[in-house]
Amino acid sequence: MGSPADRKQQQRASFHADDPAGGPLTTDQGVEVDHTDDSLAAGERGPTLMEDFHFREKLTHFDHERIPERVVHARGAGAYGYFEPYESCAEFTRAAFLQDPSVQTPVFVRFSTVQGPRGSADTVRDVRGFATKFYTSEGNYDLVGNNFPVFFIQDGIKFPDFVHAVKPEPHNDIPTGASAHDTLWDFVSLQPETLHAIMWLMSDRAIPRSYRMMQGFGVHTFRFVNAEGRGTFVKFHWKPKLGVHSLVWDEAQECQGRNPDFNRGDLWDAIEAGEYPEWELGVQLVPEEDEFAFDFDLLDATKIIPEEQVPVRPIGRMVLNRNPENFFAETEQVAFHTANVVPGIDFTNDPLLQARNFSYLDTQLIRLGGPNFTQIPVNRPVAPVRTNQRDGYHQSAIHQGTNYFPNSLGGGCPAHAGVDANAYTHYAERVDGAKIRKRSESFKDHYSQPAMFFHSMTDWEKQHIVAAFRFELGKVDAMTVRARTVEQLAKVDGGLAREVARGIGVPEPDGTEPGTYKLTSPALSLESLRGDGSIRTRQIAVLVTDGVDAEQVTSVREALAAEGAVVEALAPTDGMVRGADGESYAVDRALPTVASVLYDAVLLPGGQDGAPAVAKDPDALRFVRDAYRHGKPVGALGSGVDVLSALEPEGLRLSTGDRRTVADRGVVTDTSPGTPDTEFVQAFVDAIAAHRHWDRPPVRH
Ligand code: HDE
């Protein structure tokens, strides 16, 4: 435990509860208990006695186990790790954790969905939270971001309205984890500032394949301040090493039932397997004198600074390498707050950020039951804490000495930090204005950036957006709301609005024609975010049954595993299958317990004497069909290729008779029997690295 990043782990270990293996069961008072299966009663069939203190304590504690869930972002998963800068950022900020590449700062990150309650499914269409707590040597810094760079509203006073609209409807608490309902779209159609974030919500960014494969954004313009007191505007970006990858909507929906913990489990499993997820932290820096150099307002959180205009400069990397030990103690009780800043990082007057700086502390007081939540292990800074704050619910510190300032009786301690110390000083921004309740004129353009987002998409991304709008609005009962939303879309792009209108039974509007908004930002397309191109941690299913060519399976399996993929053999029943060579081979999972939506690709090996290995199993056929329809790579070898004829109704046309490797839009085949050559393996690996094959007809989006 030598590295600085271990400081948090050492502190955390000191809070471990006593080892239950170390002695018998006790009460909360430490009294040993010899019997916890029957309550103390007056006679064999008699009433329970009040004096059964063990029973009362056990039940009472249980009755109070739940705390309020987060009002938004209730469902989440967290992990510990570290951050290290690439080089000193002293030119822009004096933040200690951004100075020295040899210093690792411990972090805790919590990913989340927003709309659904704690028990809702992971793969819903939603924004994902990406909140990072840096336990720096100067105190905790929280970067509480999302996986979209823009937000739905411009002023925090609208947050309760927006959240009420998107949350389940008040009369029946429906729908769970979904935005496809009347109140959200009613709000959107009346509040055009939502449109930019709505475009992101309708895009594939809202259904990430993995928390490990999504970007994070600080959203607001923040301010760096260097040692000389010079300020620089800054936007924060997290970029995942594995690239940004998404699910297909049809798949995301099925996944909600097949594995509601799809994203949470994926993060947990990767960390347990030593496949530590990694992100690069980047910053867009804008000198103060360029504050008004843009055709939007830097204080408006519904706008991005296109990367082509201000490049993202990489400044460090974060690795998550440790799962929490107790979900409630750590992931549930972690308390983020946008106002947790350290010297060198400051705010701007973004009215959304200003509201957040109030809301996060306020919400922890109700959620965690009082002002001492900073003493909870996951929230404790590793920097020393010396305050005059005292008492309150759940106080666990035994404070010594005086509790006021100034004092002489306590030796004047804790004293003010000296002038040379690294105390936080607020950026001395000059502020002058009349008290008014009015949205700034510079916040008024609600259409050009949604248009830029849409126009920056590839054709397949645009198709997915249209399909998402049709799905969501198709679930809205009020036709007036559907029509009004389409009218808003028409102000973004006439073609988009008409396409959507055609799918939802409302009149096709005129509207903004191509060319009105010229700006594009290629960096917004998923095509530009492929990551390192590796297939590490991708889940590959190999469908096997008795008579399978086991040698074939073993050779591909080894080759894929060498690339870091996770390969599982799935058979109609669990246990063993008998290979064509007469040997027994272990099955990883029984087909009825899994589904194609839980894997990234599927391989169909050949069978004995040319017999297809899986053809007769309906689960296997459905597996292959779903994988194909969702654009996933499909590999087939020898007689396994015959199984693909089941995909002809889906539009697959195989070039038959070819014995060598043929790779066509993610379908990779080799009809020759026996061990495949490296050409096949490479083609299959490339198909997996490409993630999905959108050009395949007619993939169900
Ligand atoms: Fe939040 N948000 N938010 N938010 N938010 C909360 O704080 C709020 C906003 C974000 O994993 C709450 O501890 C207001 C933007 C994340 O624990 C609450 C406004 C962004 C998380 C709250 C916003 C976020 C929260 C609920 C508009 C992206 C989960 C529980 C002014 C930059 C943190 C809690 C975690 C959580 C308020 C807008 C991200 C109520 C008032 C913009 C990732 O305080």
Better-scored residue on pLDDT, 698 or 577: 577
Q: How many helices (H) and strands (E) does the chain have?
A: 16, 19
Q: DSSP assignment of 173-234, as one string?
A: ---TT---SHHHHHHHHH-GGGHHHHHHHHSGGGSBS-GGG--EE--S-EEEE-TT--EEEE
Closest ligand 1 atom to Cα of 217: 32
Do 563 and 518 share a structural domain? no
Counting Cβ atoms within 10 Å, is residue 51 exposed (0-12), middle (13-18) or buried (19+)?
Answer: exposed
359-393, pLDDT tens digit by residue?
999 999 999 999 999 999 999 999 999 999 999 99
- Catalytic-residue membership of 73: yes
Ligand 1: distance of its center to the CA of 423 in Å?
27
CA-based nearest residue to 485, from 41, 125, 189: 189
pLDDT > 70 fraction of the chain, expressed in percent and rounded: 97
224-248, pLDDT tens digit by residue?
999 999 999 999 999 999 999 999 9
Residue 523 has pLDDT above 90, yes or no: yes
SS3 sequence of 626-690: HHHHCCCCEEEECCHHHHHHHHHHHCCCCCCCCCCCEEECCEEEECCCCCCCHHHHHHHHHHHHC
Ligand 1, atom 25: closest residue by C-alpha: 73
199-209, pLDDT tens digit by residue?
999 999 999 99
Q: What is the CATH number of the domain that holds 557?
A: 3.40.50.880
Ligand 1: distance of its center to the CA of 349 in Å?
17
What span, in angstroms and rounded, lies between the C-alpha atoms of 211 and 131?
12
Q: What is the CATH number of the domain that holds 465?
A: 1.20.1370.20
Residue 698 placed within a domain: no
What's the number of domains the chain is made of? 3
- Within 8 A by CB and 6+ apart from 54, the residues are 27, 33, 36, 40
What span, in angstroms and rounded, lies between the C-alpha atoms of 240 and 111?
14
Closest ligand 1 atom to Cα of 363: 44
Which DSSP helix (H) or strand (E) runs through 453?
helix 448-455
Cβ atoms of 126 and 323 within 8 Å: the answer is no
Do 484 and 587 share a structural domain? no
Q: What is the CATH number of the domain that holds 117?
A: 2.40.180.10
What span, in angstroms and rounded, lies between the C-alpha atoms of 614 and 609?
14
pLDDT > 90 fraction of the chain, expressed in percent and rounded: 88
- Cα(first)–Cα(last) distance of the chain, in Å? 48
Closest ligand 1 atom to Cα of 364: 13
- Catalytic-residue membership of 326: no
Residue 366 identity (one-letter amino acid): I
Give the pocket of ligand 1 (CB within 6 Å): 70-73, 76, 110, 112, 129, 131, 144-146, 151, 156, 159, 219, 301, 334, 336, 352, 355-356, 359-360, 363
Per-residue pLDDT, 1: 42
Residue 666 placed within a domain: yes
Do 256 and 164 share a structural domain? yes
Ligand 1, atom 23: closest residue by C-alpha: 356
CA trace torsion 203, 207, 212, 217 (10° rounding): 50
Task: Record the pTM.
Answer: 0.97
Mutate which of 70, 196, 215 for ligand 1? The one with the most ligand atoms within 8 Å of its CB, which is 70
Domain boundary among 327, 352, 379: 379
Domain boundary among 345, 379, 413: 379
Do 547 and 520 share a structural domain? no
427-479, pLDDT tens digit by residue?
999 999 999 999 999 999 999 999 999 999 999 999 999 999 999 999 999 99
623-659, pLDDT tens digit by residue?
999 999 999 999 999 999 988 988 888 888 887 667 7
Residue 418 placed within a domain: no
Closest ligand 1 atom to Cα of 360: 44
Do 348 and 254 share a structural domain? yes
Q: What is the ipTM of this complex?
A: 0.98
Ligand 1, atom 11: closest residue by C-alpha: 110
Residue 9 placed within a domain: no
Three-class secondary structure of residue 142 per DSSP: strand
As given in the structure block, the two tokens for residue 135 are 């336990």
Do 490 and 573 share a structural domain? no
Ligand 1: distance of its center to the CA of 131 in Å?
9
Do 195 and 329 share a structural domain? yes
Ligand 1, atom 30: closest residue by C-alpha: 70
Cβ atoms of 613 and 602 within 8 Å: the answer is no
Residue 85 has pLDDT above 50, yes or no: yes
Ligand 1: distance of its center to the CA of 218 in Å?
11
Per-residue pLDDT, 3: 66
Per-residue pLDDT, 645: 86
Residue 700 has pLDDT above 70, yes or no: no
- Within 8 A by CB and 6+ apart from 499, the residues are 466
Do 503 and 642 share a structural domain? no
Do 495 and 596 share a structural domain? no
Cβ atoms of 216 and 145 within 8 Å: the answer is yes
Annotated active-site residue in 54, 140, 146, 259: 146
What span, in angstroms and rounded, lies between the C-alpha atoms of 318 and 85?
9
Question: What is the rounded average pLDDT for all residues in the chain?
Answer: 95
Average of per-residue pLDDT across 63-83: 98
Which DSSP helix (H) or strand (E) runs through 189?
helix 182-190
Residue 421 placed within a domain: no
Do 335 and 197 share a structural domain? yes
Ligand 1: distance of its center to the CA of 440 in Å?
23
DSSP 8-state class, residue 49:
P
Do 168 and 122 share a structural domain? yes
Ligand 1, atom 39: closest residue by C-alpha: 145
Segments forming the whole domain that contains residue 111: 76-379
As given in the structure block, the two tokens for residue 542 are 């190999």
Ligand 1: distance of its center to the CA of 564 in Å?
35
Closest ligand 1 atom to Cα of 151: 42
Do 506 and 543 share a structural domain? no
Annotated active-site residue in 16, 54, 64, 73: 73
